[in-house]
Amino acid sequence: MMKKLMVFIGALLFSVVSYAADSAAGAPIEDGKQYFVLQKFPSPQKEVVEIFSFNCSACYIFDTQVKGAELIKESLPEGVVFKKYNLESFGANGAALSEGWAVANILNIQDKFSDAMYNAIHKERSIKSADDIINVFVKLGVSEEEYNKTKNSLPAKMFMAQQATAISELKPASIPTLFVNGKYAINQRGLDASSNEAIMKDYVRVINYLVEQK
């Protein structure tokens, strides 16, 4: 599957601004343009899921420089859950990164871990093995003992199972990709890319429209 994955970087090089306003503006929202309908049952709850990889350069830009996921999460109506899952099959140490992401979520340090891991991979280039991932936790104040204990805990194993199931069911064709209610995949190429501000406004506009659809 990974040979078919296309990681789109160019369209993600835009500024971080506030995009919650003007959500009603823009081109008509249509299936096949700004989003695709998935041939699967929708999720039981309203949710937005981002599939990403710490190894992915486009994801690095989207999550750390653009703060795209953060802006989208902040724009969601009350009651809509935002989730992020690391694509294990993308790049080196994928399984260890997915495991680390689960541990970070259980310890509620996912934001700090995300920034540190992206920095270690894309700036420092210091992640060569699973031990290097654990060292990132140690720098964040999590001992190796606590890491291993959390990794083997039921909540972490449940997170890993949910992560694997979501990726298997959603089948992302590129990363990062955002999915809404388990039924819709956002088509980044169909969004308004006329300016940096426009594309993030369109992300917010389309996602908030889709979370309310049946």
What pTM does this model have? 0.86
What is the phi-psi region of residue 41: left when phi exceeds 0, alpha when psi lies from -120 to 50, beta otherwise?
Answer: beta
Query: What is residue 148's predicted lDDT score, i.e. its pLDDT?
Result: 97
Query: What is residue 55's predicted lDDT score, i.e. its pLDDT?
Result: 97
The parts of the chain modelled with pLDDT lower than 50 are 1-24
Q: Which residue has the tokens 């971080």?
A: 16
Q: How far apart are CA 22 and CA 74, in angstroms?
A: 15
Q: Which residue has the tokens 């891991």?
A: 117
Q: DSSP letters along 41-94, please?
A: PPPSS-EEEEEE-TT-HHHHIIIIIS-HHHHHHHHSPTT-EEEEEE-TTSSTTH
Homologous superfamily (CATH) of 32-210 is: Glutaredoxin (3.40.30.10)
Residues 127-151: pLDDT tens digits? Answer: 999 999 999 999 999 999 999 999 9
Query: What is residue 131's predicted lDDT score, i.e. its pLDDT?
Result: 96
Query: What is residue 196's predicted lDDT score, i.e. its pLDDT?
Result: 65
CB 136 within 8 A of CB 103: no
Residues 111-123: pLDDT tens digits? Answer: 999 999 999 999 9
Q: Which residue has the tokens 């260890």?
A: 96
Residue 88 Cα distances to 22, 62, 77, 85, 114, angstroms: 36, 18, 30, 9, 15
